[in-house]
Chains A and B, each alone.
Chain A
Amino acid sequence: MQFVINTRLGELIMRILFRHLLTFAPVLLFVVTAHVVTTAQTAKLQLDQLDVLAGRASETVDVKLDEHLMQTTAKFFSGKDTDDAEIRDLLKNLKGIYVKSFEFEKENEYTPADLDSVVSQLRGGGWNKIVGITSKKDGENVDVYLLTLAGEIAGLAVVSTEPKELTVINIVGPVDLQKLSQLEGSFGVPVLNLPPPKKSDK
């Protein structure tokens, strides 16, 4: 008798659990998926907030190269040319290149607050500043950030500010300073003239 009651109780509990599991399964799935997507997207910075500066700038450059375009074109860089072979190897693992650059006619047409939306994303969350160059003479600052996830480089960001110029570069994927220098002048990435990378920066 005791056994029968226990079995029925067990069945009831299992039925309730199963019913609740079914009810909450989509929610659970959503939470898990959202976490995976968020993790994958942390290397891609939200740069759209900078678009307001286009109204004040005398020159705006906006480059977007997503994963699909990169992967489709990467294999068409022939291995015959050394440069092309290096580019192909570099591109095949990248998931995106995003560049926003603004040039202003006068100084102080943008403020550090305009950059807050970008800088706040680079504080924590796996991002680390690996290079910081400040030139008091020219008022030029270049900060390079690397995102490391599970011990692997997942992205790179460059924030370059001058009194009349502002550039933000975001490369999604395994890229280091050496690879960044290979991309300079191509794929919409401006020439940054960064110092040669130290071994620890790679």
Chain B
Amino acid sequence: MKKTLTGLVLLAIALSMPLRASADGDGFNDAVKLIEQFYHVKHQSIPLLARAGMKAATTAAKIRGGEYKKLAEAGSVRVVAFEDQTFDSHGQITKFRSELQQALSGNWSAFVQNLYPRTEEQDYIYVRDAGKNFHVLIIVIEKHDATVMQATVAPQTLAQLMKDPENTGKALMDEATISDP
């Protein structure tokens, strides 16, 4: 009986291995890996100085007496950039879209997907539950640059994103990447 049980447990572990190897379910890393594999490019992490710039923007706004309304929850932003590289799908932009959908099919919901095959531009907004908050994954691919950003947002921010995906998505992306010395 013990042998049978041990065998069953080992079989279950063995069966679950290939699934784990194909996608770690993280979403952010899956998207970055897929971009690298599909477009044969390498990512760069956003420099620390640029991230420090975000702090500067907050402080500057506070000094001016203004209100700096942060969209992402503190410390939740993950950003990866691809700069000065070539993103040419060779007419297979919809294949990339399908592969991305497959890679994120676990618990992410595709909210917005925009494709412009002529200019090789694409942008995606994916959303998933994160307890009382939400994770938002934004992927922007252009001809020579790409950015992948994940952040945790409060439901109020998600509501704003639902209502105006274009502008709120851009604001989230700017908040995560643009430095303001």
Binding stretch for chain B, among A20-28, A65-73, A107-115, A146-154: A65-73
Q: B68 within 8 Å of A by Cβ?
A: no
Binding stretch for chain B, among A3-11, A51-59, A158-166: A51-59
In whole angstroms, how far apart are the Cα atoms of A74 and B162 in the complex? 10
Contact B112 A63 (CB under 8 A): yes
Nearest CB of B to A90, in Å? 11
Binding stretch for chain A, among B2-10, B14-22, B114-122: B114-122
Q: Which residues of B contact A55 (CB under 8 A)?
A: 94, 117
Chain A residue total in the interface (Cβ 8 A): 27
Q: Which residues of B contact A59 (CB under 8 A)?
A: 114-116
Partner of A64, one of B94, B110, B159, B164: B110
| 21 residue pairs bridging A and B, Cβ less than 8 Å apart | A54-B94, A54-B97, A54-B115, A57-B115, A57-B117, A59-B116, A60-B116, A61-B112, A62-B114, A63-B165, A64-B110, A65-B111, A69-B109, A69-B111, A70-B162, A73-B159, A74-B159, A76-B159, A77-B159, A105-B118, A187-B163
The residue in chain A whose Cβ has the minimal distance to the Cβ of B162 is A73
Partner of B94, one of A51, A66, A73: A51
The residue in chain A whose Cβ has the minimal distance to the Cβ of B116 is A59
Q: B158 within 8 Å of A by Cβ?
A: yes
Contact A60 B158 (CB under 8 A): no
Partner of A62, one of B110, B118, B159: B110
